[in-house]
Amino acid sequence: MLLRFLASSNPGGLIAEHGTGAGVGAAWLTSGLIGGARLIFAERDGELADQSSRLFRELPAVEIRSGDEPYDLLFTDASFRTGFDPSNWNNIIELVKVAGQIVMDDSHPVDLWPPEWDDLVDAKREFALRNLRVAGAEIRTTATTAALIATRVA
């Protein structure tokens, strides 16, 4: 429901999802499209991309492509250890407009990390909460999960 809410807060916006997988996140985003908003999604796995595109083929506001225009809202379901290395932060930020949001879900609240994770760095949290080009927040979505939301400020 968080994704539906966020999509609906961008009427007429260009919304993107990277790592669509089976299309669950895309379905939530699609349910919140209003005012001519469009959803573009990308998936590296060709089979999953084909399956997801079939799910949304009747919806003209949803498409698969690699866009080069900045998005109003970008949802990514990346692992906490991949893709958010500080050397890649500017590339990620440039995918959204100033005031655009980057949403990352399925995070584990730090206070619930298992002991074997104690020495790990959560790159998504670092990106959202220590990056001077975004204003970030962590929001509990259930008792055991959290989402990170970063708004581009520079």
Domains in the chain: boundaries:
2-152
Q: Please report the pLDDT score of residue 79 as a whole number.
A: 61
First-to-last alpha carbon distance for the chain, in angstroms, is: 28
Q: Which residues of the chain have pLDDT under 70?
A: 66-68, 78-82
Q: d(Cα 142, Cα 149) in Å, to the nearest integer?
A: 15
Characterize the bridge pairing of strands 134-140 and 146-152: antiparallel
DSSP letter at 44 equals S
Which CATH code, of 3.10.20.90, 3.40.50.150, 3.30.2350.10, 3.30.230.10, is assigned to 2-152?
3.40.50.150
Per-residue pLDDT, 78: 63
What are the structure tokens assigned to 68, written together? Answer: 């080069």
pLDDT for res 32: 97
